[in-house]
Amino acid sequence: LTHGTAQLKGHAFHPTPFRFSKTPNRTAPSFAVRFVFAIYCIQTDICGHGTAFVVAARNNFSDAMPAQYLGLVNYLNNGNTTNHFFAVELDTYLNDELKDIDNNHVAVDVSGLISMNSSSAGYYSNKNGNFNNLTLASYKMMQIWVEYDGDTTQINVTLAPLNMAKPLKPLLSTSCNLSKVLIDKVYVGFSASTGSFFSRQYVLGWSFGMNMPALPIDITKLPKLPHEGPHPQSKVLEIILPIATAIFVIIVAIIIILLIRNRLSRYAEIRENWEVEFGPHRFLYKDLFRATEGFNNKNLLGIGGFGRVYKGVLLDAVKRISHDSKQGIREFIAEVVSIGRLQHRNLGELLLVYEYMPNGSLDKYLYDQEKPTLCWEQRSLIIKGIASGSLYLHEEWEKVKLHRDIKPSNVLLDDEMNGRIGDFGLARLYDHGVDPQTTHVLGTIGYLAPELAHTNKACPLTDVFSFGMFVLEVIYNELMLVDWVLDFWDRGSLADAVDNRLQGAYDVDEAKLILKVGLLCSHPFTNVRPKMRDVMHYFN
């Protein structure tokens, strides 16, 4: 009836309906059935759901549900008198909703699956009358007799092992007038179902009689039950299994060796070609790996143009390049090579390992509402520090270094709120007295000098323009248009361009000076902009 699939229902009905002609006193005729069944489950206590002998007004139960409904009803019509069926269920699943007594019982059902009478599976001995338990899901053949007396409306159900004579005492007896249930034309057969736990239900032979006893079943002619459970090992399996086991052990050993080698290789030192050529100070990868707890995201400080920045346990910020970066290894090498030998108190020590900046980047203090407002002294100190660092890059080192992306997010703050120029990924070097080579326009919109749109050639004065825009932004707390500041100047109120969150707590003369320097640095004509040495002279 079912073949072991979960949530399955199965039916087997005699193809020809029986006519249950009623006598003048409107009682249904007598009938009797005897059948042999077996139920297989992997475990007898985890099984579902059962088999039922059925006498019903129809043989199409397409609207019925499996599981506890045994393929006879669904949750909407269970118990409706219009169902017109009589059933004896062999239930292997305890369902509280249907008021089952246990997970191994026989019950009588009329038009629904809340049984009118039920008993745990077993039989009464003919010798001493003792009750003997039987396990329905033992996968042993058992026989059952169901008898209905139309005159007395008595229903008897008797269960016994296969090779035993019919017990004299029925397993259960009850009374029900089936003339109110069974109509003139009925089908006789079986229904079964599975739920979440699979099972297989078999009916191996049956006989049915109306107004007469059911004919005996010749048990010697019954089909054998299919083999269930593990098959005996074949000769082929005995040969293959040891070989397969040996191969499996070898594969596992190889995998373990590869994993160990891979783990060791994480700490292996590989000297890159560009390191051999330029030779900046190197750190052991394993030291950086341990310092950042394996580049753990809890130590992540931020994400830059070509990699992530992590905090290390020694208060060093470690930048690890992203192999999926759009900018890639060239920008990474540019940063390492171009500043490998730079040393200045207003430049971050930006190699593979950065000097840790506990206060993060400047832009957070300008735009993050949760950060405290920078006071005037802090803003002035930061601006002058970045000017000093830019002067070193342009004139005081052995080569000219162009940063090309001076802006608040690239300015880092140490524990004393000193500004440090960071993120040299766009930086380029060239010798003093040599014109820089034409290159692609790189940088951030809003900080790019206007001439770059025509010449594509960066020079120290393009850095000066970015510095000027940076100065105006730090003072006003927004990326300002130069014309806007000029408008304040034309009205004679240049100091009003200072961030109003300072509430007047600033040096007016110094503010005017710094704003004028910012305007001069951001002048559209390069020949008007001052050099960074001139800027430092103005500030001092």
Determine, yes or no, domain membership for 3.
Answer: no
Token pair of 436, please? 């820089």
Q: Which of 9-13, 439-443, 445-449 has the highest mean pLDDT?
A: 9-13
Same domain? 534 vs 385: yes
Same domain? 147 vs 276: no
pLDDT over 60 at 193, yes or no:
yes
Determine, yes or no, domain membership for 526.
Answer: yes
Determine, yes or no, domain membership for 242.
Answer: no
Same domain? 452 vs 394: yes
Mean pLDDT of 302-325: 62
Mean pLDDT of 222-244: 72
Q: What is residue 300's predicted lDDT score, i.e. its pLDDT?
A: 83
H or E, element range at 39: strand 31-40
pLDDT over 90 at 476, yes or no:
no
Q: Residues 193, 49: contact at Cβ < 8 Å?
A: yes
- The residue with greater pLDDT, 373 or 54, is 54
Q: What is residue 438's predicted lDDT score, i.e. its pLDDT?
A: 40
Same domain? 217 vs 266: no
Mean pLDDT of 208-227: 90
Give pLDDT tens digits for 194-217.
Answer: 888 878 899 999 999 998 899 999
Q: What is residue 122's predicted lDDT score, i.e. its pLDDT?
A: 96
Q: Which residues contact 519 (CB under 8 A, 6 or more apart)?
A: 468, 472, 482, 485, 486, 489
- The residue with greater pLDDT, 247 or 430, is 247
How big is the chain by its Cα radius of gyration, in Å? Answer: 46
For 473, counting Cβ atoms within 10 Å of its Cβ (0-12 exposed, 13-18 middle, 19+ buried), the class is buried
- Beta strands in 41-125, from DSSP E residues, in sequence order: 49-56, 85-91, 105-110, 117-120, 122-124
State how beta strands 300-303 and 49-56 pair: unpaired
Mean pLDDT of 18-39: 81
Query: What is the model's pTM?
Result: 0.45
Determine, yes or no, domain membership for 52.
Answer: yes
Count Cβ neighbours within 10 Å for each residue of 171-191 and write b for 16 or more, e otherwise. Answer: bbebebebbebbeeebbbbbb
Same domain? 345 vs 372: no
Q: What is residue 488's predicted lDDT score, i.e. its pLDDT?
A: 82
Q: From the DSSP assignment, how many helices (H) and strands (E) are in the chain?
A: 11, 22
Long-range contacts of 315-319 (CB under 8 A, 24+ apart): 315/356, 315/358, 316/291, 316/353, 316/354, 316/355, 316/356, 317/353, 317/354, 317/355, 317/356, 317/357, 318/288, 318/291, 318/292, 318/352, 318/353, 318/354, 319/352, 319/354
Q: Which of 357, 386, 420 is the last residue of a domain?
A: 357
- The residue with greater pLDDT, 271 or 278, is 271
Question: Which range (139-153, 237-251, 256-270) has the least confidence?
Answer: 256-270
- Beta strands in 219-349, from DSSP E residues, in sequence order: 300-303, 307-311, 316-321
Same domain? 327 vs 405: no
**What CATH number does residue 163 fall under?**
2.60.120.200
How many angstroms separate the CA atoms of 36 and 96, rounded?
Answer: 28
Q: How many domains does the chain have?
A: 3
pLDDT over 50 at 434, yes or no:
no
Determine, yes or no, domain membership for 398.
Answer: yes
pLDDT over 70 at 454, yes or no:
yes
pLDDT band at 532 (very low <50, low <70, confident <90, very high): very high
Determine, yes or no, domain membership for 88.
Answer: yes
Q: What is residue 350's predicted lDDT score, i.e. its pLDDT?
A: 39
Cα separations in angstroms, 185 against 16, 21, 22, 127, 175: 10, 8, 11, 41, 22
- Nearest residue to 57 (alpha-carbon basis) of 26, 115, 18: 18
First to last CA, the chain: 99
Sign of the alpha-carbon torsion through 41, 45, 49, 53: positive
How many angstroms separate the CA atoms of 459 and 456, rounded?
Answer: 10
Determine, yes or no, domain membership for 308.
Answer: yes
Question: Which range (178-187, 286-295, 345-354, 471-480) has the least confidence?
Answer: 345-354
Give pLDDT tens digits for 70-111.
Answer: 999 998 999 899 999 999 999 999 988 899 999 999 999 999
Same domain? 347 vs 447: no
Beta bridge partners of 191: 11, 52
Residue 258 exposure: Cα atoms within 13 Å on the Cβ side: 6
Domain that holds residue 467: 359-540
Determine, yes or no, domain membership for 48.
Answer: yes
Q: Which of 304, 333, 357 is the last residue of a domain?
A: 357
pLDDT band at 340 (very low <50, low <70, confident <90, very high): low
Q: Which residues contact 385 (CB under 8 A, 6 or more apart)?
A: 346, 418, 419, 420
Q: What is residue 166's predicted lDDT score, i.e. its pLDDT?
A: 94
pLDDT band at 456 (very low <50, low <70, confident <90, very high): confident
Which of 109, 316, 405, 423 is flagged as catalytic? 405
Percent of the chain with pLDDT strictly greater than 90: 38
Same domain? 17 vs 57: yes
10 Å Cβ neighbour count for 228?
13
Sign of the alpha-carbon torsion through 339, 342, 347, 349: positive
Token pair of 209, please? 């009689």
- The residue with greater pLDDT, 71 or 267, is 71
Token pair of 495, please? 């100091």
Q: What is residue 261's predicted lDDT score, i.e. its pLDDT?
A: 83
Mean of pLDDT over the chain:
82
Q: Which of 339, 357, 375 is the last residue of a domain?
A: 357
Question: Which range (91-105, 266-280, 436-450) has the least confidence?
Answer: 266-280
**What CATH number does residue 508 fall under?**
1.10.510.10
Q: What is the DSSP letter of 408?
A: G
pLDDT band at 325 (very low <50, low <70, confident <90, very high): low
- The residue with greater pLDDT, 282 or 386, is 386
Same domain? 199 vs 292: no
Q: What is residue 132's predicted lDDT score, i.e. its pLDDT?
A: 96
Q: Measure CA 340 to chain center.
A: 43
Token pair of 522, please? 């951001």
pLDDT band at 425 (very low <50, low <70, confident <90, very high): low
Same domain? 72 vs 211: yes
For 87, counting Cβ atoms within 10 Å of its Cβ (0-12 exposed, 13-18 middle, 19+ buried), the class is buried
Same domain? 312 vs 374: no
Q: What is residue 229's predicted lDDT score, i.e. its pLDDT?
A: 60
Q: What is residue 450's predicted lDDT score, i.e. its pLDDT?
A: 86
Q: What is residue 80's predicted lDDT score, i.e. its pLDDT?
A: 92
**What CATH number does residue 315 fall under?**
3.30.200.20
Q: What is residue 5's predicted lDDT score, i.e. its pLDDT?
A: 80
Sign of the alpha-carbon torsion through 73, 76, 77, 78: positive
Beta bridge partners of 402: 428
Question: Which range (107-121, 200-214, 237-251) has the least confidence?
Answer: 237-251
H or E, element range at 484: helix 482-490
pLDDT over 60 at 341, yes or no:
no
Q: What is residue 493's predicted lDDT score, i.e. its pLDDT?
A: 81
**Residue 49 preceded by cis peptide, ω within 30:** yes
Judge whether 405 counts as a catalytic residue.
yes
pLDDT over 60 at 275, yes or no:
no
Token pair of 201, please? 């239900």
Return the SS3 of 237.
helix
Same domain? 262 vs 376: no
pLDDT over 50 at 439, yes or no:
no
